[in-house]
Amino acid sequence: MREVAVIGVGMTKWGELWEKSLRQIFVETALLALDDAGVDRIDSLIVGSMSSGLFVGQEHVASLLADYLGQTPVPAARVESACASGGLALRMGFIEVASGMADIVLAGGVEKMTDVNGHEATYALGTAADQEYECFHGITFPGLYALIALAHMEKYGTTREQLAMVAVKNHDNGSLNPLAQFPFKITVDSVLSSVLVADPLRVLDCSPITDGAAAVVLCSVEMAKKLKKPIVKITGSGQATDTIALSSRKDITWLESTFQAAKKAYAMAGKKPEDIDIVEVHDCFTIAEICVTEALGLVEKGKGGKAVEEGLTALQGKIPVNASGGLKAKGHPVGATGVAQAVEIVKQLRGEAGPRQVKEAKVGLTQNMGGSGGSTVVHIFERA
């Protein structure tokens, strides 16, 4: 298996992009990644997109985007794993290069979510849950994560204030990210006084509806050396699933798919949790970040809330989590999130993250999760 490098990254500002179409958003971002890589051709295109059919009425996304990027007749594929679609696109691109099937792969993600109303967006996102046994009975994703939050609070003593501290931390980081949808700071009090969505979660505990795209260019390390590009290697990749319905799990506070995907990625990379310098995780809700840091082995089981309160996951903490602002502040165009996480880690490992740069970051990890943890993709990156 060949070693794989990320030689180009691209991302434009996320938000409510009313005047741009899905294809425009993706092509602009992909061109940035190709320019950064210094290449004008690709052998393959992999795109993550969760619900383009429901959000903009467009299926056959692979053909559409290869066409408008000017890359036909290259093979192109659209992959889907709910909110982990971007992470899956990255993994598929990694496999193509590592196996020798392709030399240069563009892996991207895109979602245009604001062309529908709130009800329609809620329905589209709900398709990542169990339609017959969860959604049919009226549950939404804020409701599912509210159940996880209540169970975590009951079992481990996690407080309502600790949940709010996750949002505050990520907005602090996001205020340093010019591409973030919400680049401003908030306070614990503002989180606790914001509109109640699903008890105990309030609107400032929830990631937003977002339009956006992200892209990376992958090639072999050998080719990267010839191109004389800064080399950030993907040394570990893991993917796993869990039951789609919370009611089928032994413990809804534990994200088994994240644990299993991380276990595989750590083993492939020859790393342990203590070797990781910086992490981007799937904080679709504040409780999600707490549960993810535990499942990744970064903090003790049940101690995720305490870790945030003690500043361990802050930008200058022992293990910085979501330096980009995370889904909470950066935004969450569901198909693009996993790739954007990789963009942030690559920038950090190159030393190009500006005011949010983590000092001496050499090893990074991304964790991208589908639904309420029904699927997870984890990648480990190293600066060569």
User: Residue 182 is which amino acid?
Assistant: F
* Three-state secondary-structure class, residue 304: helix
Task: Enumerate the domain spans of the chain.
Answer: 4-117+210-232, 138-206+235-383
The token duo for 274 is 């203590």
**Counting Cβ atoms within 10 Å, is residue 272 exposed (0-12), middle (13-18) or buried (19+)?**
exposed
Confidence (pLDDT) at 229: 86
Give the CATH fold of the 138-206+235-383 domain: Peroxisomal Thiolase; Chain A, domain 1 (3.40.47)
How many whole angstroms separate alpha carbon 23 and alpha carbon 52? 11
Domain 4-117+210-232 and domain 138-206+235-383 have a common topology: yes
Query: What pLDDT is recorded for position 268?
Result: 98
Distance CA 214, CA 343 (A): 7
Looking at residue 135, the DSSP 8-state letter turns out to be G
Note the pLDDT of residue 243: 98
Of residues 140, 147, 146, the one with CA closest to residue 122: 140
Q: Scanning the structure block, which residue is given the tokens 């529908």?
A: 116
Alpha carbon distance 117, 130 (integer Å): 22
User: How would CATH label the architecture of 4-117+210-232?
Assistant: 3-Layer(aba) Sandwich (3.40)
Between the two ends of the chain, the Cα-to-Cα distance in Å is 18
With b for 16 or more beta-carbon neighbours within 10 A and e for fewer, the 133-167 pattern comes to ebbeeebbbbbbbbbbbbbbbeebebebebbbbbb
Radius of gyration over every alpha carbon of the chain, rounded to an integer in angstroms = 19
CA distances from 15 to 153, 211, 256, 365 (A): 32, 5, 31, 25
**Residues in Cβ contact with 352 at an 8 Å cutoff, skipping those fewer than 6 apart:** none
Q: Token digits for 192?
A: 């606790």
Which stretches in the chain have pLDDT values below 70? Answer: none
Helix residue ranges, H only, the chain: 22-37, 52-56, 61-68, 85-99, 118-126, 141-156, 160-174, 188-192, 221-226, 256-269, 286-295, 304-309, 326-330, 337-350
The set of catalytic residues is 83, 332
Residue 107, beta-bridge partner list:
46, 216
Q: What pLDDT score was predicted for residue 336?
A: 98
pTM assigned to the model: 0.98
